[in-house]
Structure formats: C-alpha cells, structure tokens
Amino acid sequence: MAPYDEWNKIDDDDDEELQDTSFFEGKRDVILFAIDCSESMLELREDPNYEDVKTCHLMAALDAAVQIQKKKVVVGPNDAVGIVLFNTTRKNEGTGPGADIKKNNFVYQPIAPISAPKVQELIQLLDAAREDPSLLRETFPPLTDHRVPMGDVFTSCNWIMRDGAPKTATKRVFLITDEDTPHSGASKDRFITSARTTLIDLTQAGIMVEPFFISTEDKPFNTSIFYSFVLLPTNLSEDDETDPDVLPESVSITRIDDLLAQMRFHEVPKRAQFSIPFELANDFVIGIKGQVFGGLKQDHMLNIQLCTDMVWMELVSSRTAYTDQGRQEDVDKSSILYGMALGETVGAEEVEEDEPGQLGGGAARVVSPGSRVFYTADEVKAFRTLGREPGIKLLGFKTRKELVFEDNVKHSVFICPDEMTYSGSKRTFSALLKTMIKKKKDRSGAGADKAELFTRLLCNATSEKAEEGGWNEPAGFHLIPLPFADDIRAAPDQVQSAVRASEELKDAARLWIDKLSVKNGTYPPDSYPNPALAYHNAQLEASAFREEFDPESFEDLTLPKYDTIHKRAGGLMKAWKTALLDDDSAKTVVPVTTTTGTKRKSDVNVDEANLRSMYEDGQLSKEFLKSKSLATSGVKAQLVERVGEYLNAHS
C-alpha cells in the first residue's frame, strides 16, 4: 500500500484529456523532400568538409535527407520519408511509384517507413558522387530549356502523399531550392496563381510546406520576387497591418552548411503539450495550447524498441501496478487511501509508558492506532486544485516594474491560441497581445492545468518579435508561475555581507561577457542535444546500418569551444583577471565558520546508589539507555532487562 509520506504524490491518470498524447501513441510523421534538380543546384563547388572534393547544392540536400533519416531510425522508426526531384529529365518507371505524377518530376524514394537498405543506397550514391562529381548530373539530368511550374510540383507532392502517407499522419513537404525566380515574363502571374491554388489544395489536405531557400553571396535568394506571392503567411495576426504577400527573409539559408541545422529544427513537428480554456471575463473564453521550452517533462512511458538485423522488435512495454505488501496482490488504484504522517504511531505498551498529551521520545505527536485520517485520491486532488477546473483566468494587469526577476523560479510555459477549441481565439489572442505590448504591461491570472495540478498565480510575459533566425518561437505569452509566500526566502547573511565588485571591475568583466554572448541574445536548445543521449543514439544508428561505431568521431556539442573563446576574448579576460588581483577586495579574508552538531546531554546525572534504587523501582528505561549509548528498541520488558545487564556489568 502507499506509504504515508506519499499521500500527496498521486498519478493523474484521469486528466489525460488535457494532453495531446496522440503523438505518443502511434501518430506518425511523414516528410517528403522536394528537391530542385536544376542547373544551379548541380553547379560544382569546393566541399568544406572534404579536401580536394567537389560538391553541389543537390548533394548537400540529399546528404541532409540522409542525416534526417538516420536520426529517425532511433527517434521515430515508425515515421516515413520520401524524396522527389523536380526540374529533371529523368522519367519514372511505367508501373513504379510516381508513374502518374506531373512531367519532369522524378520520385527517387517513395514514401515508406524508414528502411536501412534504402538509406544505405542513398549513402552509396553520395559516396560515389564525391569520387565522380559528374555522377549526379548523369543520374538526374537537369532541364535546360525551361522549368517545371511550381503548381505541378505541389500537385505531384499532393499525389505522392495521397498514395503513400497514412491519413492520420503529420504530413510535411520540405521544399529545397536556390532559384528565387522560377518563372518570369508575361506568364509569371499565371504561374503564381496556379502555384498558390495548388498549394491551398495541399494545405487543405493537411500537408504543410516548409521552405528551405538556399542563398549564397554569389546568388542571394530574394523571396519577394516569386515565393512571397505563393507561400501562405504564417504570422499570428489576421488584420490588415501585415502584408500577406511578404515572407520573412529568415526562411533563406545564408550558408548551405546551415541547411542540415535548420532542417533538424523542423524535423520534429511542434506539438502542444496541453489545451485548456482561457477565461478573459465572465462568459468570455478562448482556447489556448501550450508548449514547454527549456524543461523536459515525461508523462508517458513509451515502448522501447530495438533494431536487430534490420527488423524492429518490441523489447519492453512499461506498466504501473500497485501491490499490497502484506498480501502480495495487485490492488486497484481506486481503493488506495492516502494519509499524512502527522505523528508517530506507537504500540499499546509504549502508550502506557507516557502520559496522555505528552510527546513520546521525539518531537512528533503520538497518534493512537486507528486514529489516522485518510483521503481518497479525488479528495487529495481537490486540496491541491481548490476545486478549480483546468484552465486559466485573467485576474488583472500589472506594469512590468511591479514584477521582479527573483519571482521567476520555475520553467515557463509558452501559450498560443487554439482556434480548433473556440472559434475566434486567434483574433482575440492577437488583440490582447498587441494591446499589452503597446501599453507595456504583463497580465496576471490564476490557473490550474494538468501539468501542475496546483492552483497558483501566473504572470504572462509577452513575446512580440521573431528572432533573427526566424524559426525559434512564434508571438505569444510566456506563462510564468509566481511563487507562493512560503517559497520566498530572505537572502543569507553571507550574501548581505559579501564583498562587492567595484565599477571598474564590472566594466572590465562586461567587455569579455559581451564578446561571448549568444547570438541574438537567445539560447537555441535544439542545437545542443543531450550528449549522453546523442552518444547512445549514435551507437544505435551504427548498429542499424551495420557500420562500425568510432567513439572518437562523436562530437559533444555542449563542450565549450575553448580555442574560440580565447581567440575572441582572451585578452579581455586576462585584463579583467589582472584588475581583479589589483583590487582591494582580493586582499579581503573572509573567515570560514564551521558548524558542528551538538550532542544532546543526558538527563540522567545521578550517582550509582540512586541508579540502582531507580532500577529497582522500574524507573530506568529509554533515557538511561540513551545516556549510555545503548539500543532503545524493543518493548518495556526488554529495555528493563538491558538496563539490568548494564548495571551488573559495571557493578
């Protein structure tokens, strides 16, 4: 049965409707790489990773597809990937996959679950292309006299997804090209209309298009020429202030080496962790959904799978069971009661020893057997939530000056509107966000959701601008749980009396800190995977593809780049250390005080004659044994016997 000290640790299996758990339970992700195969994509250049090797944008795109598939072998073995090339003269086989798609579109890899042989086939093609740079041009001859209409490309992607992707899967198209003007001249408007119409059909079929535009110094990519009129806007606002025909320049990749890094960010679709109502006023509710950035919560144990000889086998399936230790039988969770450890339960003999109302032995109150108070799981949950339904309620607004940095004690939750729950949520949410940004205010509210199950005050910090990278976070609110009064502690005396740095030292430190600050002032967590998990996944990838794993080749991206640090700020750091040694605070000696536990003195301080007299009267028990460092466990008869043995031994 559940021990008393776990009375408030309850598994919340009844509130799973708040969580979007479908992706934990079999929802698959389907990615179709739509790669341009034009002359510019096949133009040879120096490979930055291999000496005396030529490469091209098409090879980099195919290599990125390989890396994504290799990673999905571990993190998403049930997902599916396909590759289609456009602007090539290579034809599909008459009865093979993609035989009925538009002309000059070639299905190189049909949509299918991740398969090691197919990935190895693509790896062998890339290895051969590095030895023979003209191999890709011979394998996928480019169109030279014209270009495929983008409407035909989107239509082909729609048909490929229709034939190969499961209906319930998350379907996405990764569009990779370096040509910002696929169509020009008098027929440009007609091609734009056709492409946008087919893209809308693609979107209505549940297929998202994520562009990866390759921009170089020699050939910069200008989205305003063609694609800003074709691709659908993704901004939050729906009013007329934003031009719907303007795409952010951040969708362009300034370096081809960044293709894989950006693609890895888009590899896993962003899914909401919960969806709850947001009450703005009485009978005025919108829907919101939230994601956790920077904190990892695992609410569900997934099945662990292992790949052996290219066959996926189910290895372990987790299950939680409650067992009665006395009967060694499984217990229904609904029958478990929870109680708080309010005092020490003692036996009947020990109750007789102490007077009623006195503290027995320790500082805890004595509780008679059978007098504990127990609660059901629903009752304990009501204590924690105060009977509130999951949701957030707007209580009011505060200026940012009223909020202090020290109140940010827990991970925030990013919330954005959920149009599927309440119609009009997106427009209302956008209006609230813009108004708060304009007035420079943050809102406060009270909420209880499945992730916390505690009713607490919340602060909502606004997030208005997309970062320079363009793909990190949308506009919305960061939901910050405010601490309870009991959570706030005064600063220790050591902090109050600590030595303060002078302004000169602060300025010297600020110089090298500014040099080493993260770009854009934000930390991209997706760019730095867990090194232990990445090392384990690298071994699984090598095993799945029958490759020899080289531990020396593994790169821990979380390790500091010391050479770069010293190169950029080494001189400034040296000057700061010199100033620190010359500062008067360097000569300050702070005494270190050690605190040691004090042993409680015994209350028994009498001579031997009195000891024996008390023993004969039966007054010596636990206190005497404690004073002599003897065991105090057992019933009263055992304690009296132990006292007699001690007196006989020291008589």
User: How far apart are the C-alpha atoms of 376 and 2, rounded to whole Å?
Assistant: 12
Per the structure block, which two tokens stand in for 90?
Answer: 């290579």
User: How far apart are the C-alpha atoms of 40 and 197, rounded to whole Å?
Assistant: 27
Residues 622 and 548 in one domain: no
Residues 392 and 380 in one domain: yes
Domain that holds residue 275: 270-337+376-483
| Residue 133 is assigned to a structural domain of this protein | yes
Residues 141 and 281 in one domain: no
pLDDT (0 to 100) of residue 254: 47
Q: b or e along 237-265 (b: 16 or more beta carbons within 10 Å of the residue's beta carbon)?
A: beeeeeeeeebebbbbbeebeebbebbbe
CATH at residue 280: 2.40.290.10
pLDDT (0 to 100) of residue 215: 83
Q: b or e along 201-212 (b: 16 or more beta carbons within 10 Å of the residue's beta carbon)?
A: ebeeeebebbbb
Name the domain count of the chain: 4
Residues 451 and 576 in one domain: no
Of 483, 513, 545, the last residue of a domain is 483
Using 50 as the pLDDT threshold, list the residues of the chain that sit under it.
1-26, 234-252, 254-255, 296-313, 315, 343-364, 448-455, 465-474, 601-605
Identify any residues that bridge with 149 across adjacent strands, giving them in sequence order: none
Residues 45 and 72 in one domain: yes
Cα angle, residue 150 at apex, residues 145 and 153 outer, rounded to 5°:
100
Cα of 395 vs its chain's centroid, Å: 29
Per the structure block, which two tokens stand in for 330?
Answer: 């499984």
Residues 190 and 314 in one domain: no
Q: What is the DSSP string of 212-223?
A: EEE--SSS---T
In angstroms, what CA-CA distances link 177 with 216, 217, 253? 12, 15, 10
3-state helix, strand, coil in the chain (%, to 5): 35, 20, 45
| Residue 385 is assigned to a structural domain of this protein | yes
Q: Which tens digits make up the pLDDT trace of 95-142?
A: 666 667 888 899 999 999 888 888 889 999 999 998 888 899 999 999
CATH at residue 163: 3.40.50.410
Pairing status of strand 29-36 against strand 170-177: parallel
Q: Which residue has the tokens 């034809």?
A: 91
| Residue 14 is assigned to a structural domain of this protein | no
Q: Which tens digits make up the pLDDT trace of 368-419?
A: 666 667 777 778 777 777 777 788 888 887 777 777 777 777 778 888 888 7
| Residue 1 is assigned to a structural domain of this protein | no
| Residue 625 is assigned to a structural domain of this protein | yes
Are 137 and 100 a contacting pair, CB within 8 Å?
no
From the list 172, 34, 208, the residue with the least C-alpha distance to 108 is 34
In angstroms, what CA-CA distances link 308 with 126, 314, 353, 546, 549? 25, 11, 67, 10, 16
User: How far apart are the C-alpha atoms of 575 and 546, rounded to whole Å?
Assistant: 52
Identify any residues that bridge with 250 across adjacent strands, giving them in sequence order: none
Residues 546 and 632 in one domain: no
Residues 521 and 629 in one domain: no
Residues 251 and 199 in one domain: yes
User: How far apart are the C-alpha atoms of 185 and 193, rounded to whole Å?
Assistant: 14
User: How far apart are the C-alpha atoms of 236 and 230, rounded to whole Å?
Assistant: 18
| Residue 540 is assigned to a structural domain of this protein | yes
Of 483, 509, 536, the last residue of a domain is 483
User: How far apart are the C-alpha atoms of 423 and 440, rounded to whole Å?
Assistant: 27
The reply to whether the predicted model has a pTM over 0.75 is no
Residues 308 and 449 in one domain: yes
Per the structure block, which two tokens stand in for 586?
Answer: 């360097």
pLDDT (0 to 100) of residue 26: 45
**How far does the chain reach from its first CA to its final CA, in angstroms?**
49
User: How far apart are the C-alpha atoms of 131 and 53, rounded to whole Å?
Assistant: 7
| Residue 7 is assigned to a structural domain of this protein | no
Of 254, 269, 284, the last residue of a domain is 269
Residue 356: CB atoms within 10 Å: 7
Helix ranges (H only) for 268-411 are 348-353, 377-385
Identify any residues that bridge with 324 across adjacent strands, giving them in sequence order: 329
Cα angle, residue 293 at apex, residues 290 and 296 outer, rounded to 5°:
100
| Residue 572 is assigned to a structural domain of this protein | yes
User: How far apart are the C-alpha atoms of 229 and 233, rounded to whole Å?
Assistant: 9
Residues 190 and 252 in one domain: yes
Residues 55 and 31 in one domain: yes
